[in-house]
A and B are shown apart, each in its own frame.
Chain A
Amino acid sequence: GQNIDQPTEMTATEGAIVQINCTYQTSGFNGLFWYQQHAGEAPTFLSYNVLDGLEEKGRFSSFLSRSKGYSYLLLKELQMKDSASYLCAENAGKSTFGDGTTLTVKP
């Protein structure tokens, strides 16, 4: 997606921690959110950051730095079911999605 950059693919081991980075253009920024999308399914909402800092939700955390136009999604204690595409999206009046990061969790 335009203006949103995130890695295309990542691989991690079950039980490990993985960080998925996302950079965006800061003009007109209203918030940054993360979605999870399993193959063949619709995206599901994970988190939303509008202020700087870390938001924690169970095994998932999301961080935002507005001055740097940077966010990351942190997944702890990885499980096989976490294998999915993770979409970073900027809310600047209308939603702009990144192309997604395909995460593969291996045993």
Chain B
Amino acid sequence: KAGVTQTPRYLIKTRGQQVTLSCSPISGHRSVSWYQQTPGQGLQFLFEYFSETQRNKGNFPGRFSGRQFSNSRSEMNVSTLELGDSALYLCASSSAPDRTYEQYFGPGTRLTVT
């Protein structure tokens, strides 16, 4: 069974631009969560989607948004990029929302904002 895939793996953007990251969960998994990981803040929860609905949201500004498609693939978008948005963005999938403890992480997208 293929694991969680994320594209692109690396991305360089400039301040003010917007970016879209993609995540394909493990086949059969319908819950997708997004995290931001930085050396200073650790792993922080962004949002969780299940059946195309956002179930939970972390404490991030409205510039961070996401969506999930009917095939469970998910995208997250960051608008008006700031230097502080440079981070590793991780996507994790699980079979159902109440099984979020058994999350399988993708390799991440390394975003650098210059």
Footprint of B on A, CB under 8 Å? 1, 31, 33, 41-45, 48, 87, 89, 91, 93-100
- Hey, what's the 0/1 contact readout for B47-64 against A, CB within 8 Å counting as 1? 010000000101000000
Q: In the bound complex, do residue B105 and residue A95 qualify as a contact, i.e. CB atoms below 8 Å apart?
A: no
Q: Given A33-B101, A93-B56, are A43 and B90 neighbors across the interface (CB < 8 Å)?
A: yes
Contact B101 A87 (CB under 8 A): no
Query: In the complex, are the beta carbons of B45 and A44 less than 8 A apart?
Result: no
Chosen A-B contacts, 17 in total, with CB atoms closer than 8 Å, are A1-B41, A1-B43, A42-B90, A42-B106, A42-B107, A43-B43, A87-B43, A89-B43, A91-B100, A93-B56, A94-B56, A94-B58, A95-B33, A97-B44, A97-B45, A99-B42, A100-B42
One of B35, B43, B45, B107 near A41 (C-beta < 8 A): B107
Q: In the bound complex, what is the Cα–Cα distance between A87 and B101 (angstroms)? A: 13
Q: Decide: A97 near B58, CB < 8 A? Known: A42-B107, A45-B104, A91-B101.
A: no
Taking CB atoms, residues of chain A closer than 8 Å to B48 are 94
Which residue in chain B gives the minimum CB-CB distance to A49?
B101
CA distance A43 to B91 in the complex (A): 10
State whether A48 touches B102 (Cβ < 8 A). Answer: yes
In the complex formed, the residue of B with least CB distance to A44 is: B105
A31 near B43 with CB under 8 A, answer: no
Interface residues on B, range: 20 to 34
| A69 CA / B100 CA spacing, docked (Å) | 20
Contact A95 B100 (CB under 8 A): yes
Contacts of B106 in A (CB 8 A): 42
Q: Are A31 and B42 in contact (CB under 8 A)?
A: no
Distance from A35 Cβ to chain B, minimum over Cβ atoms (Å)? 8
B43: which A residues are within 8 A, CB to CB? 1, 43, 87, 89, 97, 100
- Report B-chain residues with C-beta under 8 Å of the C-beta of A97: 35, 42-45
Q: Which of B35, B42, B102 contacts A45 (CB 8 A)?
A: B102
Known: A94-B33, A94-B100. 9 other contacts (CB 8 A): A42-B107, A43-B105, A45-B101, A45-B102, A45-B103, A48-B101, A87-B42, A87-B43, A93-B56
